[in-house]
Amino acid sequence: MKPFLTLALAAALSGPAFAAAGDTVITKAKHDDAVSMMGQQQPAKDSTEVTWIGKDRMRIEDGEDVTIVRADLKKMYKLDMGAKTVSTIDLPFDMKKYMPAEVAPMMEHMMGQMKVTVTPTTETKKIKDWNATRYTMTMSMPMGGSMTQEIWATQDVAIDAASMQEMQTAFLSAMPMVGATMASEMKKVVGLPVLSERTMVMMGNESKGREEVTSIEQKEAPAGLYEVPAGFTEKPFDPMGEGGGMGPKMGRGHGPRGG
């Protein structure tokens, strides 16, 4: 499980839409400090995440974890490239479809305790070639967990805002407890996040992370990029399992999905 969200994508872009040649490719450098939780140790990690954004479709590559959103098909696919498995999720996402009936009431109660607030500011600065504005996100979680995140977003990127908003909402909605609230609050962020720094406290342990966009390009997508590869085995989606939750994803060495 991952401690925070992919914030190179965690804003439903509400700025003006632009026409662009080819698909948008966003490359992001990520760093996560070492963290200890529930008797498990996860070392500091540096990684690279690549996101492709096309018309009504999106692909996020994070190591062996790949997520494909197909708004045109109303489907989201979560792939494990190493195990060659895929979990198919219907959109719009309904958490109750993926939770045992006896667990659903507890999840609804915990979701009611989650609070996410995004606060815009007027502070601006130049990040690489982009003019960016700062937003602050705060999150309070059950059992005393909390997260503060500083997000710098730019409107200098040519991208289809309406399509991005639809796919981003789908992507965030599959996060247990926080998805719907996060998707709603992130609409306050105008533009594409290009730098994000967070501090998270959970079970008395503090962890920090940083994500920074290193390049934004326009490219033609390779054939089949937004398709599930042949030979993958279907695996039921577990929103509380690997890649589905809010805490650190221990054991496989993956960093958090977000900055």
Reading the chain (259 residues) residue by residue, the pLDDT tens digits are 444 344 434 433 333 334 446 899 999 999 999 887 767 788 999 999 999 999 889 999 999 999 999 989 999 999 999 999 999 999 888 877 877 777 767 666 666 667 889 999 999 999 999 999 999 999 887 667 889 999 999 999 877 766 676 777 777 766 655 666 777 788 888 888 999 999 988 877 889 999 999 999 999 999 999 999 999 999 999 876 644 444 334 333 333 333 3
pLDDT at 184 (0 to 100)? 78
Spatial separation of the C-alpha atoms in residues 31 and 13, rounded to whole Å? 24
The domain that contains 203 carries what CATH number?
A: 2.50.20
In a domain, 92, yes or no: yes
| Structural domain boundaries enclosing 149 | 23-34+46-97+112-234
In a domain, 63, yes or no: yes
Q: In DSSP terms, which residues pair with 24 in a beta bridge?
A: 53, 218
In a domain, 106, yes or no: no
pLDDT at 134 (0 to 100)? 98
In a domain, 242, yes or no: no
Q: In which element (H, E) is residue 171 found?
A: helix 161-173
* Number of folded domains that form the chain: 1
Q: Biggest alpha carbon distance in the chain?
A: 51
pLDDT at 226 (0 to 100)? 97
pLDDT at 175 (0 to 100)? 66
pLDDT at 241 (0 to 100)? 65
In a domain, 17, yes or no: no
pLDDT at 165 (0 to 100)? 66
Residue 229 DSSP SS3: coil
In a domain, 10, yes or no: no
Backbone φ and ψ of 26, nearest 5°:
-110, 120
Count of residues making up the chain: 259
Closest-CA residue to 203 (of 141, 138, 144): 144
pLDDT at 1 (0 to 100)? 41
In a domain, 5, yes or no: no
Backbone φ and ψ of 78, nearest 5°:
-110, 115
In a domain, 7, yes or no: no
